[in-house]
Structure 1
Amino acid sequence: MEILLFRLYGLMASWGEIAVGESRHTVNYPSKSAVLGLIGAALGIERDDEIMQSRLQQGYSLAVEVLSTGQLLRDYHTAQVPDSVGKFTYRTRRDELILGKERLGTILSSREYRTDALALVALRALTDAPFSLSQIREKLLKPVFHLYLGRKSCPLAAPLHPQLLTDQANFLAAFKAYRHQSLLPTGQSIDGQPSERDCYWLGINGERHYFWEGAPEDFSGNPDLTRRQTRIRHDQPLSRKRWQFVPRQEHYFYQAGE
Protein backbone atom coordinates (compact mmCIF):
# COMPACT_ATOMS: atom_id res chain seq x y z
CA MET A 1 0.00 0.00 0.00
CA GLU A 2 1.33 3.45 -0.97
CA ILE A 3 0.65 6.18 1.59
CA LEU A 4 1.53 9.88 1.67
CA LEU A 5 2.16 11.38 5.12
CA PHE A 6 2.58 15.01 6.11
CA ARG A 7 2.40 16.94 9.36
CA LEU A 8 0.19 19.85 10.37
CA TYR A 9 1.55 22.24 12.97
CA GLY A 10 0.65 25.86 13.65
CA LEU A 11 0.44 28.37 16.44
CA MET A 12 -3.31 28.29 15.83
CA ALA A 13 -5.58 25.92 13.94
CA SER A 14 -9.34 25.58 13.60
CA TRP A 15 -10.91 22.30 12.52
CA GLY A 16 -14.51 23.25 11.93
CA GLU A 17 -17.44 21.47 13.51
CA ILE A 18 -21.15 21.94 12.88
CA ALA A 19 -21.81 25.68 13.26
CA VAL A 20 -24.91 26.78 15.16
CA GLY A 21 -25.84 30.46 15.33
CA GLU A 22 -22.94 32.67 16.40
CA SER A 23 -20.75 29.82 17.73
CA ARG A 24 -17.96 28.42 15.56
CA HIS A 25 -16.52 25.39 17.34
CA THR A 26 -13.43 23.33 16.57
CA VAL A 27 -12.56 19.73 17.30
CA ASN A 28 -9.07 18.73 18.46
CA TYR A 29 -7.91 17.02 15.27
CA PRO A 30 -7.94 17.88 11.54
CA SER A 31 -11.20 17.40 9.67
CA LYS A 32 -11.39 15.78 6.24
CA SER A 33 -12.76 18.96 4.69
CA ALA A 34 -9.80 20.96 6.03
CA VAL A 35 -7.24 18.40 4.83
CA LEU A 36 -8.76 18.19 1.35
CA GLY A 37 -9.04 21.97 1.26
CA LEU A 38 -5.33 22.27 2.02
CA ILE A 39 -4.48 19.71 -0.67
CA GLY A 40 -6.76 21.45 -3.16
CA ALA A 41 -5.04 24.77 -2.47
CA ALA A 42 -1.64 23.17 -2.96
CA LEU A 43 -2.79 21.75 -6.30
CA GLY A 44 -4.30 25.06 -7.38
CA ILE A 45 -7.92 23.86 -7.56
CA GLU A 46 -10.34 26.79 -7.37
CA ARG A 47 -13.15 26.63 -4.82
CA ASP A 48 -15.81 27.07 -7.52
CA ASP A 49 -14.41 24.25 -9.67
CA GLU A 50 -17.14 21.82 -8.66
CA ILE A 51 -15.96 18.99 -10.92
CA MET A 52 -12.38 18.85 -9.65
CA GLN A 53 -13.47 19.47 -6.06
CA SER A 54 -15.86 16.51 -6.30
CA ARG A 55 -13.17 14.25 -7.76
CA LEU A 56 -10.78 15.30 -5.00
CA GLN A 57 -13.38 14.59 -2.33
CA GLN A 58 -14.17 11.11 -3.66
CA GLY A 59 -10.67 10.03 -4.65
CA TYR A 60 -8.87 9.61 -1.31
CA SER A 61 -9.22 8.13 2.15
CA LEU A 62 -7.27 9.45 5.10
CA ALA A 63 -6.13 8.76 8.63
CA VAL A 64 -4.94 11.14 11.33
CA GLU A 65 -2.50 10.59 14.17
CA VAL A 66 -2.83 13.24 16.89
CA LEU A 67 0.44 13.80 18.73
CA SER A 68 -0.63 16.92 20.62
CA THR A 69 -4.10 18.42 20.87
CA GLY A 70 -2.70 21.73 22.14
CA GLN A 71 -4.86 24.14 24.11
CA LEU A 72 -8.31 25.52 23.41
CA LEU A 73 -8.55 29.25 22.62
CA ARG A 74 -11.84 31.14 22.32
CA ASP A 75 -12.09 34.45 20.50
CA TYR A 76 -14.98 36.91 20.61
CA HIS A 77 -15.08 38.06 16.99
CA THR A 78 -16.78 41.05 15.38
CA ALA A 79 -16.94 41.95 11.69
CA GLN A 80 -18.75 44.58 9.65
CA VAL A 81 -20.26 43.40 6.39
CA PRO A 82 -23.01 44.79 4.14
CA ASP A 83 -26.15 42.80 3.47
CA SER A 84 -26.82 41.50 -0.04
CA VAL A 85 -28.19 43.74 -2.80
CA GLY A 86 -29.97 41.53 -5.28
CA LYS A 87 -27.48 39.93 -7.64
CA PHE A 88 -24.78 42.53 -6.96
CA THR A 89 -21.48 41.04 -5.75
CA TYR A 90 -18.88 42.80 -3.63
CA ARG A 91 -15.59 41.86 -5.26
CA THR A 92 -13.22 43.10 -2.55
CA ARG A 93 -13.22 44.18 1.08
CA ARG A 94 -12.82 47.74 -0.18
CA ASP A 95 -16.08 47.37 -2.13
CA GLU A 96 -17.83 46.20 1.04
CA LEU A 97 -16.65 49.19 3.06
CA ILE A 98 -17.13 51.86 0.37
CA LEU A 99 -19.89 50.70 -2.01
CA GLY A 100 -21.79 48.98 0.79
CA LYS A 101 -21.18 51.66 3.42
CA GLU A 102 -24.88 52.46 3.85
CA ARG A 103 -25.74 48.78 4.33
CA LEU A 104 -23.06 47.81 6.83
CA GLY A 105 -24.07 45.68 9.78
CA THR A 106 -22.07 44.07 12.58
CA ILE A 107 -21.84 40.30 12.88
CA LEU A 108 -20.86 38.82 16.24
CA SER A 109 -19.43 35.35 16.65
CA SER A 110 -17.50 33.22 19.13
CA ARG A 111 -14.70 31.29 17.43
CA GLU A 112 -12.57 28.47 18.78
CA TYR A 113 -8.98 27.56 17.92
CA ARG A 114 -6.44 24.92 18.93
CA THR A 115 -3.06 26.38 19.84
CA ASP A 116 0.29 24.57 19.58
CA ALA A 117 -1.28 21.35 18.26
CA LEU A 118 0.48 18.79 16.07
CA ALA A 119 -0.97 16.01 13.91
CA LEU A 120 0.16 13.66 11.15
CA VAL A 121 -2.09 13.02 8.15
CA ALA A 122 -1.90 9.84 6.07
CA LEU A 123 -3.47 9.93 2.61
CA ARG A 124 -4.29 6.90 0.46
CA ALA A 125 -5.40 7.16 -3.18
CA LEU A 126 -8.50 5.25 -4.28
CA THR A 127 -9.13 3.87 -7.75
CA ASP A 128 -10.69 7.10 -9.08
CA ALA A 129 -8.11 9.49 -7.59
CA PRO A 130 -7.50 12.46 -9.95
CA PHE A 131 -3.87 12.92 -8.84
CA SER A 132 -1.17 10.49 -7.82
CA LEU A 133 0.29 10.72 -4.33
CA SER A 134 3.65 11.71 -5.79
CA GLN A 135 2.01 14.64 -7.60
CA ILE A 136 0.37 15.77 -4.37
CA ARG A 137 3.67 15.50 -2.52
CA GLU A 138 5.38 17.77 -5.06
CA LYS A 139 2.63 20.36 -4.73
CA LEU A 140 2.76 20.26 -0.94
CA LEU A 141 6.43 21.22 -1.25
CA LYS A 142 5.63 23.97 -3.79
CA PRO A 143 1.94 24.90 -3.36
CA VAL A 144 0.04 27.02 -5.87
CA PHE A 145 -2.01 28.88 -3.25
CA HIS A 146 -1.21 29.75 0.36
CA LEU A 147 -1.87 26.94 2.82
CA TYR A 148 -3.54 27.35 6.18
CA LEU A 149 -4.95 25.24 9.00
CA GLY A 150 -8.70 25.54 8.71
CA ARG A 151 -8.90 29.33 8.54
CA LYS A 152 -6.88 31.97 6.71
CA SER A 153 -5.83 33.39 10.09
CA CYS A 154 -4.06 30.09 10.87
CA PRO A 155 -0.90 29.75 8.73
CA LEU A 156 1.53 26.87 8.99
CA ALA A 157 4.27 27.31 11.58
CA ALA A 158 6.49 24.46 10.32
CA PRO A 159 7.08 22.77 6.95
CA LEU A 160 4.68 19.97 6.03
CA HIS A 161 7.64 17.59 5.57
CA PRO A 162 5.68 15.21 3.27
CA GLN A 163 6.93 11.64 2.84
CA LEU A 164 5.69 9.07 0.33
CA LEU A 165 5.96 5.57 1.79
CA THR A 166 5.52 2.40 -0.24
CA ASP A 167 4.83 -1.21 0.72
CA GLN A 168 3.03 -0.20 3.91
CA ALA A 169 0.62 -2.81 5.25
CA ASN A 170 -1.77 -0.27 6.76
CA PHE A 171 -2.10 3.25 8.18
CA LEU A 172 -0.56 2.35 11.55
CA ALA A 173 2.56 0.91 9.90
CA ALA A 174 2.92 4.11 7.88
CA PHE A 175 2.65 6.30 10.98
CA LYS A 176 5.34 4.24 12.70
CA ALA A 177 7.62 4.49 9.64
CA TYR A 178 7.33 8.28 9.32
CA ARG A 179 10.67 10.02 9.94
CA HIS A 180 10.06 13.03 12.13
CA GLN A 181 11.97 16.22 11.49
CA SER A 182 12.72 18.71 14.25
CA LEU A 183 10.29 21.60 14.52
CA LEU A 184 13.12 23.82 15.75
CA PRO A 185 14.29 26.45 13.23
CA THR A 186 17.77 24.93 13.16
CA GLY A 187 16.44 21.43 12.61
CA GLN A 188 19.13 20.16 15.01
CA SER A 189 18.99 17.74 17.91
CA ILE A 190 21.12 17.50 21.03
CA ASP A 191 23.60 14.58 21.07
CA GLY A 192 21.50 12.82 18.46
CA GLN A 193 18.42 12.93 20.70
CA PRO A 194 15.28 15.05 20.23
CA SER A 195 15.35 18.32 22.12
CA GLU A 196 13.12 18.88 25.13
CA ARG A 197 10.89 21.13 23.05
CA ASP A 198 10.54 18.54 20.30
CA CYS A 199 9.70 15.89 22.89
CA TYR A 200 6.88 18.12 24.05
CA TRP A 201 5.60 18.88 20.53
CA LEU A 202 5.96 15.37 19.20
CA GLY A 203 4.65 13.72 22.35
CA ILE A 204 7.28 11.00 21.98
CA ASN A 205 6.38 9.39 25.32
CA GLY A 206 2.79 10.51 25.29
CA GLU A 207 -0.56 9.11 24.29
CA ARG A 208 -1.76 8.80 20.72
CA HIS A 209 -5.19 9.30 19.18
CA TYR A 210 -5.90 7.79 15.77
CA PHE A 211 -8.79 8.49 13.41
CA TRP A 212 -9.29 6.80 10.05
CA GLU A 213 -11.93 5.98 7.47
CA GLY A 214 -12.47 2.71 5.63
CA ALA A 215 -12.43 -0.79 7.11
CA PRO A 216 -11.15 -1.28 10.68
CA GLU A 217 -8.32 -3.50 9.39
CA ASP A 218 -7.08 -0.63 7.18
CA PHE A 219 -5.48 0.75 10.34
CA SER A 220 -3.57 -2.13 11.90
CA GLY A 221 -4.71 -5.27 10.12
CA ASN A 222 -6.71 -6.25 13.21
CA PRO A 223 -10.48 -5.64 12.90
CA ASP A 224 -10.98 -6.18 16.66
CA LEU A 225 -8.94 -3.34 18.09
CA THR A 226 -9.42 -2.58 21.76
CA ARG A 227 -10.41 0.99 22.63
CA ARG A 228 -11.93 1.31 19.15
CA GLN A 229 -15.04 3.34 18.43
CA THR A 230 -16.92 4.10 15.25
CA ARG A 231 -18.41 7.56 15.00
CA ILE A 232 -20.05 9.92 12.51
CA ARG A 233 -18.51 13.24 11.45
CA HIS A 234 -20.17 15.83 9.24
CA ASP A 235 -17.00 16.88 7.41
CA GLN A 236 -17.28 15.16 4.02
CA PRO A 237 -17.40 18.04 1.50
CA LEU A 238 -20.38 17.99 -0.84
CA SER A 239 -20.04 21.47 -2.36
CA ARG A 240 -17.25 23.94 -1.55
CA LYS A 241 -19.10 26.67 -3.38
CA ARG A 242 -22.27 26.28 -1.28
CA TRP A 243 -20.46 25.23 1.95
CA GLN A 244 -22.37 21.96 2.12
CA PHE A 245 -21.10 18.87 3.97
CA VAL A 246 -22.45 15.38 4.47
CA PRO A 247 -21.77 12.81 7.23
CA ARG A 248 -19.14 10.10 6.91
CA GLN A 249 -18.09 7.22 9.12
CA GLU A 250 -14.69 7.10 10.81
CA HIS A 251 -13.01 4.85 13.35
CA TYR A 252 -11.14 5.92 16.47
CA PHE A 253 -8.38 4.17 18.40
CA TYR A 254 -6.61 5.36 21.56
CA GLN A 255 -3.08 4.30 22.49
CA ALA A 256 -1.97 5.06 26.04
CA GLY A 257 1.39 6.70 26.71
CA GLU A 258 4.44 4.87 27.92
Structure 2
Amino acid sequence: MEALIFQLYGPLASWGAPAVGETRPSSDHPGRAALLGLLAAALGIRRDDGPGQQALASSVRFAVKQFSAGRLMRDYHTVQVPGRDKKARYFTRKDELAVPKDKLNTVLSSREYRQDGLWQVAVLLSEHSDWNLDELQTALKTPVFTPHLGRKACPLAAPLAPKKVQANGLREAFASAPPRICDQHGRWLHLPDSVDFYWEDHAGDIAVQDTRQPSDDVISRERWQFGSRQEHHARIREES
Protein backbone atom coordinates (compact mmCIF):
# COMPACT_ATOMS: atom_id res chain seq x y z
CA MET A 1 0.00 0.00 0.00
CA GLU A 2 1.32 3.43 -1.00
CA ALA A 3 -0.18 6.43 0.78
CA LEU A 4 0.37 10.14 1.35
CA ILE A 5 0.15 11.09 5.04
CA PHE A 6 -0.41 14.64 6.27
CA GLN A 7 -1.47 16.23 9.56
CA LEU A 8 -4.26 18.63 10.57
CA TYR A 9 -3.90 20.74 13.71
CA GLY A 10 -5.34 24.11 14.71
CA PRO A 11 -6.97 26.08 17.52
CA LEU A 12 -10.37 25.71 15.82
CA ALA A 13 -11.81 23.31 13.26
CA SER A 14 -15.31 22.80 11.93
CA TRP A 15 -16.09 19.59 10.07
CA GLY A 16 -19.52 20.06 8.54
CA ALA A 17 -22.29 17.59 9.34
CA PRO A 18 -25.92 17.46 8.15
CA ALA A 19 -27.69 20.53 9.53
CA VAL A 20 -31.36 21.03 10.37
CA GLY A 21 -32.75 24.42 11.35
CA GLU A 22 -30.51 27.03 12.93
CA THR A 23 -27.84 24.66 14.30
CA ARG A 24 -24.68 23.99 12.24
CA PRO A 25 -23.00 20.98 13.91
CA SER A 26 -19.44 19.75 13.46
CA SER A 27 -18.36 16.14 13.17
CA ASP A 28 -15.56 14.99 15.47
CA HIS A 29 -13.25 14.27 12.49
CA PRO A 30 -12.81 15.53 8.91
CA GLY A 31 -15.08 13.73 6.47
CA ARG A 32 -14.71 13.08 2.77
CA ALA A 33 -16.20 16.40 1.61
CA ALA A 34 -13.91 18.43 3.87
CA LEU A 35 -10.81 16.53 2.77
CA LEU A 36 -11.72 16.82 -0.91
CA GLY A 37 -12.17 20.56 -0.40
CA LEU A 38 -8.79 20.91 1.27
CA LEU A 39 -7.04 18.89 -1.43
CA ALA A 40 -8.86 20.78 -4.20
CA ALA A 41 -7.73 24.10 -2.69
CA ALA A 42 -4.13 22.90 -2.61
CA LEU A 43 -4.36 21.84 -6.27
CA GLY A 44 -6.08 25.06 -7.33
CA ILE A 45 -9.38 23.42 -8.36
CA ARG A 46 -12.13 25.99 -7.93
CA ARG A 47 -15.47 25.17 -6.35
CA ASP A 48 -17.34 25.98 -9.59
CA ASP A 49 -15.09 23.67 -11.63
CA GLY A 50 -17.48 20.72 -11.69
CA PRO A 51 -15.39 18.41 -13.93
CA GLY A 52 -12.25 19.11 -11.89
CA GLN A 53 -14.04 18.43 -8.61
CA GLN A 54 -15.48 15.18 -9.95
CA ALA A 55 -12.10 14.08 -11.34
CA LEU A 56 -10.52 14.61 -7.91
CA ALA A 57 -13.36 12.79 -6.12
CA SER A 58 -12.96 9.74 -8.37
CA SER A 59 -9.15 9.77 -7.99
CA VAL A 60 -8.68 9.56 -4.22
CA ARG A 61 -9.85 7.76 -1.09
CA PHE A 62 -9.16 8.84 2.49
CA ALA A 63 -8.45 7.41 5.92
CA VAL A 64 -8.23 9.43 9.14
CA LYS A 65 -6.35 8.78 12.36
CA GLN A 66 -7.82 10.85 15.16
CA PHE A 67 -5.57 11.58 18.12
CA SER A 68 -7.97 14.12 19.61
CA ALA A 69 -11.41 15.30 18.49
CA GLY A 70 -10.83 18.51 20.43
CA ARG A 71 -13.16 20.22 22.88
CA LEU A 72 -16.57 21.15 21.52
CA MET A 73 -17.37 24.88 21.31
CA ARG A 74 -20.67 26.46 20.21
CA ASP A 75 -20.67 29.95 18.73
CA TYR A 76 -23.87 32.00 18.75
CA HIS A 77 -24.59 33.94 15.52
CA THR A 78 -27.08 36.54 14.34
CA VAL A 79 -27.31 36.97 10.58
CA GLN A 80 -29.31 39.46 8.53
CA VAL A 81 -31.07 38.03 5.44
CA PRO A 82 -33.74 39.40 3.07
CA GLY A 83 -37.33 38.38 3.61
CA ARG A 84 -38.89 35.86 1.23
CA ASP A 85 -39.41 37.34 -2.24
CA LYS A 86 -40.12 35.00 -5.16
CA LYS A 87 -39.13 37.68 -7.70
CA ALA A 88 -35.75 38.50 -6.15
CA ARG A 89 -32.48 36.71 -6.94
CA TYR A 90 -29.34 37.12 -4.84
CA PHE A 91 -26.02 35.94 -6.20
CA THR A 92 -23.71 37.19 -3.44
CA ARG A 93 -23.83 38.16 0.20
CA LYS A 94 -23.38 41.78 -0.95
CA ASP A 95 -26.60 41.47 -2.97
CA GLU A 96 -28.49 40.24 0.08
CA LEU A 97 -27.38 43.19 2.21
CA ALA A 98 -28.11 45.74 -0.55
CA VAL A 99 -31.88 45.52 -0.02
CA PRO A 100 -33.59 48.21 2.10
CA LYS A 101 -33.02 47.79 5.81
CA ASP A 102 -36.71 47.31 6.52
CA LYS A 103 -36.66 44.25 4.23
CA LEU A 104 -33.97 42.48 6.26
CA ASN A 105 -34.79 39.86 8.88
CA THR A 106 -32.55 38.54 11.64
CA VAL A 107 -31.83 34.81 11.73
CA LEU A 108 -30.35 33.20 14.84
CA SER A 109 -27.93 30.31 14.43
CA SER A 110 -25.46 28.25 16.44
CA ARG A 111 -22.23 26.89 14.92
CA GLU A 112 -20.05 24.19 16.42
CA TYR A 113 -16.25 24.13 16.40
CA ARG A 114 -13.58 21.73 17.65
CA GLN A 115 -10.83 23.24 19.80
CA ASP A 116 -7.25 21.89 19.61
CA GLY A 117 -8.09 18.76 17.64
CA LEU A 118 -5.35 16.70 16.03
CA TRP A 119 -5.82 14.39 13.04
CA GLN A 120 -3.73 12.66 10.42
CA VAL A 121 -5.01 11.89 6.95
CA ALA A 122 -3.95 9.18 4.52
CA VAL A 123 -4.61 9.78 0.81
CA LEU A 124 -4.91 6.65 -1.31
CA LEU A 125 -5.19 6.71 -5.10
CA SER A 126 -7.86 4.94 -7.12
CA GLU A 127 -6.87 2.69 -9.99
CA HIS A 128 -7.36 5.38 -12.65
CA SER A 129 -6.34 8.50 -10.74
CA ASP A 130 -5.64 11.71 -12.65
CA TRP A 131 -2.86 12.55 -10.18
CA ASN A 132 0.04 10.72 -8.55
CA LEU A 133 1.08 11.03 -4.91
CA ASP A 134 4.15 13.13 -5.77
CA GLU A 135 1.90 15.75 -7.38
CA LEU A 136 -0.44 15.76 -4.39
CA GLN A 137 2.49 16.04 -2.00
CA THR A 138 3.85 19.05 -3.89
CA ALA A 139 0.42 20.69 -3.86
CA LEU A 140 0.09 20.27 -0.07
CA LYS A 141 3.55 21.75 0.45
CA THR A 142 2.88 24.74 -1.83
CA PRO A 143 -0.92 25.10 -2.08
CA VAL A 144 -2.53 27.33 -4.72
CA PHE A 145 -5.32 28.43 -2.35
CA THR A 146 -4.93 28.65 1.42
CA PRO A 147 -6.11 25.43 3.10
CA HIS A 148 -8.16 25.63 6.28
CA LEU A 149 -9.83 23.33 8.78
CA GLY A 150 -13.38 23.24 7.47
CA ARG A 151 -14.10 26.99 7.56
CA LYS A 152 -12.03 29.95 6.40
CA ALA A 153 -12.07 31.19 9.99
CA CYS A 154 -10.18 28.02 11.06
CA PRO A 155 -6.53 28.36 9.95
CA LEU A 156 -3.85 25.72 10.30
CA ALA A 157 -1.57 26.06 13.33
CA ALA A 158 1.10 23.66 11.97
CA PRO A 159 2.35 22.66 8.52
CA LEU A 160 0.51 19.87 6.73
CA ALA A 161 3.87 18.06 6.52
CA PRO A 162 2.87 15.60 3.75
CA LYS A 163 4.95 12.42 3.53
CA LYS A 164 4.69 9.55 1.07
CA VAL A 165 4.97 6.10 2.68
CA GLN A 166 4.88 2.43 1.70
CA ALA A 167 3.19 0.05 4.14
CA ASN A 168 1.24 -3.18 4.50
CA GLY A 169 -1.82 -1.45 5.91
CA LEU A 170 -3.24 1.82 7.20
CA ARG A 171 -2.07 1.42 10.79
CA GLU A 172 1.48 0.78 9.63
CA ALA A 173 1.29 3.69 7.18
CA PHE A 174 0.25 6.16 9.89
CA ALA A 175 2.85 4.79 12.33
CA SER A 176 5.64 5.40 9.80
CA ALA A 177 4.82 9.14 9.69
CA PRO A 178 3.87 10.30 13.22
CA PRO A 179 2.56 13.88 13.67
CA ARG A 180 5.15 16.58 14.32
CA ILE A 181 3.46 19.03 16.68
CA CYS A 182 5.24 21.19 19.27
CA ASP A 183 3.92 23.44 22.02
CA GLN A 184 5.00 27.08 22.45
CA HIS A 185 8.19 25.93 24.20
CA GLY A 186 9.24 23.57 21.41
CA ARG A 187 8.33 20.40 23.30
CA TRP A 188 6.53 17.55 21.54
CA LEU A 189 2.88 17.38 22.51
CA HIS A 190 1.80 14.25 24.36
CA LEU A 191 -0.12 11.82 22.15
CA PRO A 192 -2.94 9.73 23.65
CA ASP A 193 -2.76 5.97 24.19
CA SER A 194 -6.07 5.32 22.38
CA VAL A 195 -6.81 6.63 18.90
CA ASP A 196 -9.68 6.37 16.43
CA PHE A 197 -9.31 5.24 12.83
CA TYR A 198 -11.85 6.04 10.11
CA TRP A 199 -11.47 4.67 6.58
CA GLU A 200 -13.43 4.14 3.38
CA ASP A 201 -11.99 0.98 1.85
CA HIS A 202 -9.84 -1.98 2.90
CA ALA A 203 -7.51 -1.11 5.79
CA GLY A 204 -5.30 -4.20 5.73
CA ASP A 205 -4.21 -4.23 9.37
CA ILE A 206 -7.24 -2.82 11.25
CA ALA A 207 -10.32 -4.84 12.18
CA VAL A 208 -13.65 -3.09 11.66
CA GLN A 209 -15.50 -2.36 14.92
CA ASP A 210 -18.48 -0.53 13.41
CA THR A 211 -19.57 0.91 10.07
CA ARG A 212 -21.34 4.22 9.51
CA GLN A 213 -23.15 6.00 6.66
CA PRO A 214 -22.14 9.69 6.72
CA SER A 215 -23.72 11.99 4.12
CA ASP A 216 -20.54 13.72 2.96
CA ASP A 217 -19.84 12.24 -0.46
CA VAL A 218 -19.71 15.19 -2.86
CA ILE A 219 -22.26 15.11 -5.69
CA SER A 220 -22.09 18.80 -6.66
CA ARG A 221 -20.29 21.65 -4.91
CA GLU A 222 -22.15 24.22 -7.01
CA ARG A 223 -25.58 22.90 -5.93
CA TRP A 224 -24.28 21.92 -2.48
CA GLN A 225 -25.45 18.33 -2.87
CA PHE A 226 -23.98 15.39 -0.97
CA GLY A 227 -24.68 11.67 -0.87
CA SER A 228 -24.09 8.95 1.71
CA ARG A 229 -21.12 6.59 1.73
CA GLN A 230 -19.73 3.77 3.86
CA GLU A 231 -17.16 4.59 6.55
CA HIS A 232 -15.50 2.04 8.84
CA HIS A 233 -14.34 2.85 12.37
CA ALA A 234 -12.12 1.29 15.03
CA ARG A 235 -10.75 2.56 18.34
CA ILE A 236 -7.34 1.11 19.15
CA ARG A 237 -4.97 1.38 22.08
CA GLU A 238 -1.43 2.08 20.93
CA GLU A 239 1.84 1.43 22.66
CA SER A 240 3.73 4.50 23.90
Query: In structure 2, do the counterparts of structure 1 residues 257 and 137 end up closer, same or farther at CA, with 3 Å as the change threshold?
Result: closer
Query: In structure 2, do the counterparts of structure 1 residues 52 and 66 end up closer, same or farther at CA, with 3 Å as the change threshold?
Result: same
One-letter amino acid of the counterpart of residue 236, structure 1 = D
**TM-score (ref. length: structure 2):** 0.91
**Structure richer in helix, relative to its length:** 1
Aligned residues: 238
Does the 8 Å contact 2:195/2:237 carry over to 1?
yes
Query: In structure 2, do the counterparts of structure 1 residues 130 and 22 end up closer, same or farther at CA, with 3 Å as the change threshold?
Result: same
Is 1:234 aligned to residue 221 of structure 2? Answer: no
Q: Which contiguous aligned blocks of 4+ residues in structure 1 show a shift greater than 6 angstroms?
A: none
**Long gaps (5+) in structure 2:** none
Deviations 1:29-55 (A, max 9, x none): 111100110000111111111111111
Question: Helix, strand or coil: the match of 1:42?
Answer: helix
**TM-score (ref. length: structure 1):** 0.85
Question: Helix, strand or coil: the match of 1:178?
Answer: coil
Give the percent of matched residue pairs that are identical in Structure 1 and Structure 2: 41
The alpha carbon displacement at 1:100 in A equals: 6.0
Residues of 2 paired with 1:52 and 1:132: CA distance? 15
Question: Helix, strand or coil: the match of 1:150?
Answer: coil
Question: Helix, strand or coil: the match of 2:211?
Answer: strand
Is 1:174 aligned to residue 173 of structure 2? Answer: yes
The alpha carbon displacement at 1:184 in A equals: 3.5
Which of 195, 203, 208 is the matching residue for 1:208? 195
Residues of 2 paired with 1:8 and 1:39: CA distance? 12
**Long gaps (5+) in structure 1:** none
Residues of 1 paired with 2:116 and 2:214: CA distance? 23
Residues of 2 paired with 1:185 and 1:134: CA distance? 31
Residues of 2 paired with 1:185 and 1:42: CA distance? 27
Deviations 1:221-253 (A, max 9, x none): x6xx2x711111111111111111111001111
Which of 214, 234, 239 is the matching residue for 1:253? 234
The alpha carbon displacement at 1:77 in A equals: 1.1
Q: CA RMSD in A?
A: 2.1
Question: Helix, strand or coil: the match of 1:180?
Answer: coil
